[in-house]
């Protein structure tokens, strides 16, 4: 039997322990809400939401999404309390400019998988605020095979097999290409077995993109001009690389004209210098050496004379080249 | 190689490999032989060279065979199976999306 301990050397008195105090008794329940607060707080005035809904009336309890009306705002849709919320269609954001941004086509052999995945995809797009269409039903493709049942003979008893490919489509407008990419990446991450997707995207590029790209590509393909090549030849090469066109032909003629002019001037200079050299040297070695030197000198002189003659016949002035200013 | 390779399957495999190896050469000779702008002697020579190729280099010797049974007839290219094997697999549900048709 238990005997009460009289001495308090252990520091434990059961009587004290069993005493009733605030710790052991339940608290007094407040009778009304006013007792909970010592003072009444002045609440700020509640302004209605931009859509016109009163926050104190939210959430709006409705029986189905169609109770919201033909064109509900996103706020009204989001604040509505309806049974089976996740199975309803997502809020379709209104298109701002109706500019196509992309479209996703879903393929499957089983329509129920498609229903689930398209529902998921449309909710994802709605969360990203991409204006999308409702799920579009595309015509089903069907392949049929008729095979003989038996492995050998018995042509008259056959069996039909088919494979149906069901297709759905969701179109998207107006969103940035980055947002569309994100949506697609999200779908790829959470893709479903048995459903394939095909994404078509439209991107907009600035006006004049063709010219800038062409110029860039041409630069990349240009053959670098070597050091030994003269500037006229280099220009000709450059012009030839660009191909055939009216403007190019003009440039080609100009370049060719410049080249001919340069060559002519050079040849005329050479002729003059050789003529001068020929007249200078022909007098000295004529007596000293035999016929070869004489002949060579004579040849040189003849050449010089011929060149001089040729030079004199030709006009030293530059020819008028068509297309040159 | 399929589940039941017979000698014809092996021959077909050899033919496919040979065609792969010789395709470029054959096409070159064929181009020369069929080219109207080349002199006839050259074309004739090219044609003779073409005739020297063996049977395991000609694309006409390649024939689809059933990968399950090795059968040469009644093949459906989409599945690589002969008609009976296709039926067996379809009824077992081993072919994706294929089911008994009824309408």
Q: Domain-by-domain residue ranges, chain A?
A: 33-88, 92-201
Residue A295 has what pLDDT? Answer: 44
Residue B16 pLDDT > 80, yes or no?
yes
Q: What is the mean pLDDT of residues B45-71?
A: 93
Are the CB atoms for A304 and A278 separated by under 8 Å? yes
Q: Looking at this predicted complex, what is its ipTM?
A: 0.86
Confidence bin at B29 (pLDDT 50/70/90): very high
A chain contacts of residue B83, beta-carbon cutoff 8 Å: 147-148
Residue B63 pLDDT > 90, yes or no?
yes
**Could you report the per-residue pLDDT of A100-112, keeping only the tens digit for each?**
999 999 999 999 9
Structure tokens at A63: 């029986």
Supply the DSSP string of B44-102, one letter for each residue. HHHHHHHHTS-GGG-GGG-----TTT---SSEETTTTEEHHHHHHHHHHT-STTEEE--
Q: Which residue, among A89, A97, A102, has the nearest Cα to A171 in the 3D structure?
A: A102
Average predicted confidence (pLDDT) for chain A: 78
Confidence bin at A247 (pLDDT 50/70/90): confident
**Could you report the per-residue pLDDT of B45-57, keeping only the tens digit for each?**
999 999 999 999 9
Chain pair A-B, CB pairs under 8 angstroms: 42
Residue of B nearest to A163 (CA): B98
B chain contacts of residue A148, beta-carbon cutoff 8 Å: 74, 83-84
Residue of B nearest to A165 (CA): B97
Contact call for B101 and A149, based on CB within 8 A: no
According to CATH, the superfamily of the domain at A92-201 is Ribosomal protein S10 (3.30.70.600)
Contact call for B98 and A162, based on CB within 8 A: yes
Supply the DSSP string of A147-215, one letter for each residue. EESSSSS-TT-EEEEEEEEEEEEEEEES--HHHHHHHHHHHHHT--TTEEEEEEE-----TTHHHHHHH
Confidence bin at B72 (pLDDT 50/70/90): very high
**pTM for the model:** 0.60
In percent, the amount of chain B with pLDDT more than 90 equals 94
**Could you report the per-residue pLDDT of A77-100, keeping only the tens digit for each?**
887 777 766 778 888 999 999 999
- Nearest CB neighbour to B100, from listed A143, A161, A164: A161
Structure tokens at A301: 């002189």
Structure tokens at B97: 């999306």
């Amino acid at each position: 039997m238990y005997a009460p301990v009289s001495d308090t050397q252990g520091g434990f008195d059961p009587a004290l322990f069993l005493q009733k105090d605030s710790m052991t008794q339940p608290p007094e329940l407040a009778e009304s809400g006013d007792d909970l607060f010592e003072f009444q707080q002045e609440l700020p005035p509640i302004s209605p939401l931009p859509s016109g809904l009163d926050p104190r009336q939210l959430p709006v309890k409705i029986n189905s999404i169609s109770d919201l009306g033909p064109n509900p705002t996103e706020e009204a849709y989001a604040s509505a309390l309806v049974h089976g919320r996740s199975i309803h269609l997502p809020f379709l954001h209104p298109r701002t400019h109706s500019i196509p941004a992309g479209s996703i086509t879903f393929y499957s052999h089983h329509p129920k998988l498609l229903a689930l995945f398209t529902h998921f995809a449309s909710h994802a797009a709605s969360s990203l605020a991409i204006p999308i269409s409702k799920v579009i039903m595309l015509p089903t493709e069907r392949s049929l095979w008729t095979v003989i049942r038996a492995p050998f003979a018995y042509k008259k008893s056959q069996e039909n097999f088919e494979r149906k490919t069901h297709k759905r489509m969701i179109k998207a407008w107006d969103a940035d290409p980055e947002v569309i990419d994100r949506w697609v990446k999200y779908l790829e991450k959470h893709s479903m077995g048995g459903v394939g997707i095909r994404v078509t995207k439209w991107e907009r590029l600035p006006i004049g993109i063709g010219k800038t790209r062409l110029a860039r590509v041409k630069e990349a393909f240009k053959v670098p001009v070597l050091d030994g090549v003269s500037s006229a030849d280099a220009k000709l090469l450059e012009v030839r690389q660009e191909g055939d066109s009216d403007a190019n032909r003009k440039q080609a003629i100009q370049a060719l004209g410049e080249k001919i002019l340069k060559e002519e001037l050079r040849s005329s200079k050479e002729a003059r210098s050789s003529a001068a050299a020929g007249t200078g040297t022909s007098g000295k070695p004529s007596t000293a050496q035999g016929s070869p030197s004489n002949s060579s000198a004579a040849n040189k002189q003849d050449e010089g004379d011929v060149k001089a003659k040729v030079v004199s016949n030709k006009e030293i002035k530059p020819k008028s080249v068509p297309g040159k200013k | 190689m399929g589940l039941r390779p017979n000698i014809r399957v092996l021959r077909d495999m050899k033919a496919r490999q040979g065609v792969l190896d010789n395709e470029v050469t054959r096409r070159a000779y064929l181009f020369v032989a069929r080219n109207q702008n080349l002199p006839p002697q050259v074309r004739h020579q090219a044609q003779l060279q073409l005739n020297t190729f063996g049977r395991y280099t000609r694309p006409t010797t390649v024939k689809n065979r059933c990968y399950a049974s090795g059968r040469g007839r009644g093949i459906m290219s989409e599945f690589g199976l002969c008609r009976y094997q296709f039926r067996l697999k379809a009824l077992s549900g081993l072919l994706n999306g294929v089911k008994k048709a009824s309408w």
